[in-house]
A and B are shown apart, each in its own frame.
Chain A
Amino acid sequence: MTEQTVDRPFTSATDPAQAELRARFKGSLHHAVLVFLLFLTFFPFFIAILTSLKSFQQLLVNFWLPAFPLQLQNYVMAWNEIYRSIINSSLVSLGAVTGVLLCASLAAYAFARIDFAWRDAAYYLVLSLLMIPGVLTLIGRYLLIVEFGLMNSLWGLILPYIAGGLAFAVFLLTGFFSDLPEELFEAARMDGGTELQMYRMIALPLSRPIMAIVGLLTFLSTWGDYVWPLLVLRSKDKFTLMLGLAKFTGNSQVMFGPLMAGYVIASIPTAIIIILMMRTFAGAALVGAFK
Chain B
Amino acid sequence: MWKRVRKTWPGYLFISPAGLLITVFSYIAIIFSLYISFYQYDIISEARPFEGLENYTRALSDKLVRISFRNTFIYVIVIVPSITIISLMLAVLGNQVRRGRALFRTVFFIPTITPIVVTSMLWVWLYEPTGGINKLLEMINIEGPNWLFNPATALPAIMIMTIWGAVGYYMIIFLAGLAEIPEVFYEAAKVDGAGRWHTFWSITIPLLRNSLIFAFVTLTIAAFQVFTQVFIMTQGGPMNSTQTVQMVVYHYAFQRFEMGYASAISWLLFGVIFFFSALQLKLFISRELY
Is the C-beta of B77 less than 8 angstroms from some C-beta in chain A?
no
New A-B contacts (18) at CB < 8 Å, excluding given A249-B121, A282-B175? A42-B107, A44-B111, A44-B132, A48-B122, A106-B15, A106-B17, A110-B10, A116-B8, A122-B15, A133-B221, A140-B30, A143-B43, A166-B18, A242-B118, A245-B121, A259-B125, A267-B115, A270-B113
Docked-complex contact B21 and A159, CB < 8 angstroms: yes
Cross-chain contact of A139 among B135, B203, B263 (Cβ < 8 A) = B263
Give complex CA distance A27, B196 in Å. Answer: 14
Known: A8-B198, A126-B18, A266-B118. A30 touches B259 (CB 8 A): no
Q: Interface digits, A77-115 against B, CB 8 Å rule (1 contact, 0 not)? A: 000000000000000000000010011101101110011
Q: Interface digits, B106-126 against A, CB 8 Å rule (1 contact, 0 not)? A: 111111011111110111011
Known: A126-B22, A231-B254, A263-B122. A34 touches B14 (CB 8 A): no
**Can you name the residue of chain A whose Cβ is closest to the Cβ of B222?**
A133
Cross-chain contact of B116 among A64, A125, A132, A226 (Cβ < 8 A) = A226
Least CB distance from A2 to B in Å reads: 8
Residues of A within 8 A of B126 (CB): 44, 47
Known: A117-B4, A227-B228. A106 touches B210 (CB 8 A): no
Docked-complex contact B224 and A144, CB < 8 angstroms: no
Residues of B within 8 A of A204 (CB): none
Residues of A within 8 A of B267 (CB): 136
**Can you name the residue of chain B whose Cβ is closest to the Cβ of A148?**
B24
Q: Which residues of chain A in 247-269 are interfacial with respect to chain B, using CB atoms and an 8 Å cutoff?
A: 249, 256, 259-260, 263, 266-267
Residues of B within 8 A of A207 (CB): none
The chain A residues found within 8 Å of chain B, CB to CB, are 1-6, 8-12, 27, 30-31, 33-34, 37-38, 40-45, 47-48, 63-64, 99, 102-104, 106-107, 109-111, 114-117, 119, 122, 125-126, 129, 131-144, 146, 159-160, 162-164, 166-167, 170, 194-196, 199, 220, 223-224, 226-227, 230-231, 242, 245-246, 249, 256, 259-260, 263, 266-267, 270-271, 273-275, 278, 281-283, 285-286, 289-290
Is the C-beta of B239 less than 8 angstroms from some C-beta in chain A?
no
8 A/B residue pairs, CB under 8 Å, sorted by A: A45-B122, A109-B14, A114-B10, A135-B225, A137-B26, A143-B43, A224-B115, A285-B169
**Can you name the residue of chain B whose Cβ is closest to the Cβ of A278?**
B106
Known: A164-B25, A167-B22, A242-B115. A285 touches B90 (CB 8 A): no
Q: Which residues of chain B in 163-192 are interfacial with respect to chain A, using CB atoms and an 8 Å cutoff?
A: 164, 168-169, 172-173, 175-177, 185, 188-189, 192
Give complex CA distance A68, B134 in Å. Answer: 25
Residues of A within 8 A of B198 (CB): 8
Docked-complex contact A140 and B28, CB < 8 angstroms: yes
Give complex CA distance A246, B124 in Å. Answer: 12
Docked-complex contact B11 and A116, CB < 8 angstroms: yes
Instruction: State the 7 A-B residue pairs at the shortest beta-carbon distance, nearest first.
Output: A140-B29, A224-B115, A116-B11, A163-B25, A110-B14, A116-B8, A107-B18
Residues of B within 8 A of A129 (CB): 22, 26
**Can you name the residue of chain A whose Cβ is closest to the Cβ of B290?**
A1
**Can you name the residue of chain A whose Cβ is closest to the Cβ of B97?**
A34
Give complex CA distance A168, B185 in Å. Answer: 34
Cross-chain contact of B210 among A115, A136, A289 (Cβ < 8 A) = A289
Is the C-beta of B47 less than 8 angstroms from some C-beta in chain A?
no
**Can you name the residue of chain A whose Cβ is closest to the Cβ of B17?**
A103
Give complex CA distance A48, B109 in Å. Answer: 17
